[in-house]
Structure 1
Amino acid sequence: MISKTLALNPIAWQAGPFTIHWYGVIIASGVILALWLSIREGKRQGINEDVFYDYLLWALPIAIICARTYYVVFQWPYYRLHPSEIIAIWDGGIAIYGAIIGGFVTLLILCHVRQLPVWTMLDVIAPTVILAQAIGRWGNFMNQEAFGTITTKSALMAQHLPMWIIKQMDISGAYRVPTFFYESMWDLLGFVLLVSLRHRRHLFKEGEVFFAYLIWYSLGRFWIEGMRTDSLMWGPIRVSQLLSVLIFVVSIALVLWRRQHSPQLKWYEQVKENNHEQ
């Protein structure tokens, strides 16, 4: 583990033994905003808002457990020697791909039990998930995680980054490439594109907003992961890069296959119109 000299205090509030970390505050803020936006779009698609509260109730703890498990598994040589730190998620160390997997499986189960339209639910939630990811990366910033290779202060200043970001990128006496920032901006751009385009006529078939999210995120994650020095590794392979390639290829293949073999699929805006007519 890399030692850190924090420019910003990672603790938001503390009273005796009770501590609230900025990491948790930022993650929670992203989740709350994602919930609000999902409810708004869900109403347009004829989905009761209680569905999203029920989903969050189950998905949030499952996603956190899966995200932490994913991280611990690929950092097992360390956690095997420090088992008491396995549950210390307030210090960071959750893998977003683990959270995505956990949330996806939870959604499939909820849709099956409640007889909900799976593709519509995925299309509604996907843009809000990538927004939550964009916000969540600032939790990594507060904990000085998800950083890149060693760079110089002048190189960071040349990117017109504010000094409070540059100072926080001084880790163990060396400035680091702010890959957390790159991914946050990539995710934010993905959110803007998805919400701007998803209601365009004859652009997305049902389910394709979700696949567009996967394609966009995995593309950016592959590129940005290559600049990081704290990647989870599987031997010589960066786990997130491998998973990004698989998700990117499978998502494009499924979009093409569904377009060719499932002509009955509705356009996303037709799903909305049909639900309002019911």
Structure 2
Amino acid sequence: MYPLLLEIAGVRLHSYGVAVAAAVLLAIWLAGLEARRKQFGPAVVEELALPVVLAGFLGGRLGYVVGWEPELLWTDPVGIVAVWRGGLALQGGLVAGFAAGIWFCRRRRLPLWRMADAIAPALALGQAVGRVGCFLSGDAYGRPTSLPWAVTFSNPAALAPLGVPLHPVQLYEAALDLGLLAVLWATRRHPSFDGRQFLIWAAGYGAIRVFTEAFRGDRVEIGLGLSLLQAVSLTLLAAALAAGAVLGARRGLAGGRRAA
């Protein structure tokens, strides 16, 4: 596709970098809308964004190195955190970003689950935009296929195999992320308990990744027909469903006590 958008005076503008920047900005904007609706202070999301984004980039880079370039751990220590080289694992970024978000909410004494609900739609939007960037750069590419909507990469700068018809798995995931965004947006106004929207996102994202990983051409197999990211995603899905059951039950018990 178009891994390099343009080059001016030796300065290169990569499609993946543009998509990631757009994803971050759009996510901050949408999270700000939801945070204000939930009556958080006007600057809370902007203050939250700095530690979360920084941690997300570093965690994403570390996750990529561990999964795809582990040799950097002992041959190139600088390369471990060199986010400017490209190569980010979304799930590693999410784990680090969530850790930073928990730290921020505790430090500011903010209600964690309500804040998580506010950012849930933004996460789905950011993921969708980021996957378009993966498609343009040929990253996170699909398996070979003979289906009529297969895509073939010809640009030598692309990370995908050249001249081979592949599943456009990045676009599959982007479309499913937008579907998840639609669900979150439609159900956001009357959550039955704090944390519900975030857990809908977590369960939806886990299910999406389990599905799309089946079409990935760069998956890391761990046995039993599963990839590493499928195993992680199944764990996320199960944890989200379990947490939803616990929080929902607590809300039901609290309501029963008030009624009594």
The reply to whether TM is greater than 0.5 is yes
2:58 alignment counterpart = 65
Pair 1:262–1:183, CA change in 2 (3 A) = same
1:184 alignment counterpart = 174
Kindly tell me the number of residue pairs found equivalent between the two proteins. Answer: 248
2:140 alignment counterpart = 146
Query: How far apart, CA to CA, are the structure 2 residues paired with 1:242 and 1:207?
Result: 24
Offset of 1:40 from its aligned partner?
1.1
Superposition map of 1:89-104 within 5 A: 89-90=83-84, 92-104=86-98
Indicate which of 131, 148, 158 corresponds to 1:156.
148
Indicate which of 187, 203, 208 corresponds to 1:220.
208
- Structure 1 position 238 matched with structure 2 position 210: no
Q: CA RMSD in A?
A: 2.4
**Greater relative CO, 1 or 2 (CA 8 Å, sep 6+):** 1
**Do the aligned partners of 1:66 and 1:99 also contact (CA within 8 Å) in 2?**
yes
1:12 alignment counterpart = 5
Identity percentage of aligned residues = 27
Offset of 1:80 from its aligned partner?
5.9
Indicate which of 218, 242, 257 corresponds to 2:246.
257
Question: What secondary structure, in the 3-state scheme, does the structure 2 residue paired with 1:151 have?
Answer: coil
Task: In structure 2, give the amino acid aligned to 1:249.
Answer: A
Offset of 1:260 from its aligned partner?
1.7
Task: In structure 1, give the amino acid aligned to 2:6.
Answer: W
**Do the aligned partners of 2:140 and 2:170 also contact (CA within 8 Å) in 1?**
yes
**Do the aligned partners of 2:51 and 2:101 also contact (CA within 8 Å) in 1?**
no
Question: What secondary structure, in the 3-state scheme, does the structure 2 residue paired with 1:12 have?
Answer: strand
Query: How far apart, CA to CA, are the structure 2 residues paired with 1:132 and 1:138?
Result: 10
Pair 1:102–1:86, CA change in 2 (3 A) = closer
Residue deviations 1:80-118 (CA, integer Å, cap 9, x gap): 697375555455421111111111111110011111111
1:271 alignment counterpart = none
**Do the aligned partners of 1:211 and 1:255 also contact (CA within 8 Å) in 2?**
yes
* TM-score, normalisation: structure 2: 0.86
Question: What secondary structure, in the 3-state scheme, does the structure 1 residue paired with 2:40 have?
Answer: coil
* TM-score, normalisation: structure 1: 0.81
Residue deviations 1:161-218 (CA, integer Å, cap 9, x gap): 8xxxx3448832211111111000000100011011111x4x5311010000001110
Question: What secondary structure, in the 3-state scheme, does the structure 1 residue paired with 2:25 have?
Answer: helix
Query: How far apart, CA to CA, are the structure 2 residues paired with 1:107 and 1:81?
Result: 30
**Do the aligned partners of 2:153 and 2:162 also contact (CA within 8 Å) in 1?**
no
Structure 1 gap segments, 5+ residues each: 1-6, 267-278
Indicate which of 197, 207, 213 corresponds to 2:187.
197
Task: In structure 1, give the amino acid aligned to 2:165.
Answer: Y
1:134 alignment counterpart = 128
Task: In structure 2, give the amino acid aligned to 1:97.
Answer: Q
Residue deviations 1:29-70 (CA, integer Å, cap 9, x gap): 111111111111111111112111111111111100000101
Structure 2 gap segments, 5+ residues each: 155-159, 256-260
Greater displacement, 232-241 / 91-100? 232-241
Question: What secondary structure, in the 3-state scheme, does the structure 2 residue paired with 1:205 have?
Answer: coil
